[in-house]
Amino acid sequence: MLSGADIGSLSPENRLSGPDRAVLFLEDVMTSTLYWLQCGGCGGDTMALLGLEWPNIIEMLELNGIDVLWHPSLSDGGPSRQKELVRALVEGELPLDFLCVEGGVIRGPGGTGMYDMSDFKPKKDIVAALARRARFVIGVGTCASFGGIGADGVVEATGLQFHKSRKGGFLGEDFISSGGLPVVNLPGCPCHGEAVAGTLAALQAEWPLPLNEYNAPLEWYGLLVHQGCIRNEYHEYRVEEVEFGRRGCLFFHLGCRGPLTHGPCNKLLWNGRSSKTSVGVPCMGCTSPEFPQPHPFFYTRNIAGVPIELPEGVDRPHYLAYKGMAAAAAPERLKNRETRV
């Protein structure tokens, strides 16, 4: 089994050189195909995926029987190779199982898509053509999922099936791939590489993949970032911090959005070791459809010291009563910051 990253090591006579040869090659050595298209984004999701430790990215692809037809960071073919590959996929000469889109779909200026071109064609048109052929379409990262940073800007970015929290996006709210699923969104800025690998493995193995209201797998996006945060006890007793570098909760004053945001950050530790809140950095809510927020980071908007946005499922009267009692009952070890995080 060879992954797309290994194609460059083949001798020239054994490399893919056209649709007929490609079909023969694929039949011989792989089970499913993957095409990775970078649209309007920074490439951070690719960098996170490259950081997979075990299995690493090559092992992950081989173990799951996935052949990368194209990835801008892994493939060694030039523009002509990519052009021929896209043509063969669009015309059905090559099968396409996984279309992974990284970055928002750029529609500007004026809906033309000419701000983001490939082979003199708007990438948005390539996305549309490949999505019609793909068995599964995956939005990798918040930009591909919801539009991200460029969603309200002049580039007219949008997500594949959502524009921020509103369903629709580029492909439309009724889009269903040939595999029977809507776009599978994997938000994050960047998306954790293990979420990408796990989603590919589940789809390849035809395991059930329940999705939430934003088409993100519940396995990784069914919990709040707050769940698993090592500062939880400080939060429950409302031991608050107003400056960085201490052990207390960052939600009440320093802008942490962990109690408001669904994501795997304290389940899938970065590099298998840590997360933002573990090292004293507030969650920025990067998996949320409305990211980036329209108000400053590292600051919690409040009224009389009570956050305007409360944890999910909590109403204000009960919150005020409960947190007042909790703060009064806080153990001395927490007040003195003696419990390590």
Q: Mapped to the 3 state alphabet, what secondary structure does 3-45 carry?
A: CHHHHCCCCHHHCCCCHHHHHHHHHHHCCEEEEEEECECCCHH
Estimate to the nearest angstrom the gap between the alpha carbon of 20 and the chain centroid. Answer: 34
Cα separation, 13 vs 175, in Å, equals 40
For 65, what's the count of Cα atoms within 13 Å in the CB-facing half-sphere? 13
pTM comes to 0.87
Q: What are 80's two structure tokens?
A: 């002509």
Helix 79-90, helix 123-133: angle, nearest 10: 40
Per-residue pLDDT of the chain (341 residues; tens, 9 = 90+): 334 334 333 333 333 333 333 333 334 444 899 999 999 989 999 999 999 988 999 999 999 999 999 998 888 888 888 899 999 999 999 999 999 999 999 999 999 999 999 988 999 999 999 999 999 999 999 999 999 999 988 999 999 999 999 999 999 999 999 999 999 999 999 999 999 999 999 999 999 999 999 999 999 999 999 999 999 999 999 999 999 999 999 999 999 999 999 999 999 999 888 999 999 999 999 999 999 988 899 999 988 778 999 988 888 888 888 878 888 899 999 999 988 76
- Of 40, 61, 247, nearest to 153 by C-alpha is 40
Residue-range domains of the chain with CATH? 4-220 (3.40.50.700), 223-341 (4.10.480.10)
DSSP E strand boundaries for 40-135:
66-70, 98-102, 105-106, 117-118, 121-122
Q: What are 260's two structure tokens?
A: 């408001």
Cα separation, 285 vs 287, in Å, equals 6
Phi, psi of 39 (to 5 degrees): -105, -130
Cα separation, 93 vs 85, in Å, equals 9
116-170 pLDDT tens trace:
999 889 999 999 999 999 999 999 999 999 999 999 889 999 999 999 999 999 9
Cα separation, 140 vs 128, in Å, equals 16
Handedness of CA 14, 17, 22, 26 (dihedral sign): positive
| Helices of type H across 192-261 | 193-205, 218-221, 232-236
For 58, what's the count of Cα atoms within 13 Å in the CB-facing half-sphere? 8
51-97 pLDDT tens trace:
998 899 999 999 999 999 999 888 888 888 889 999 999 999 999 99
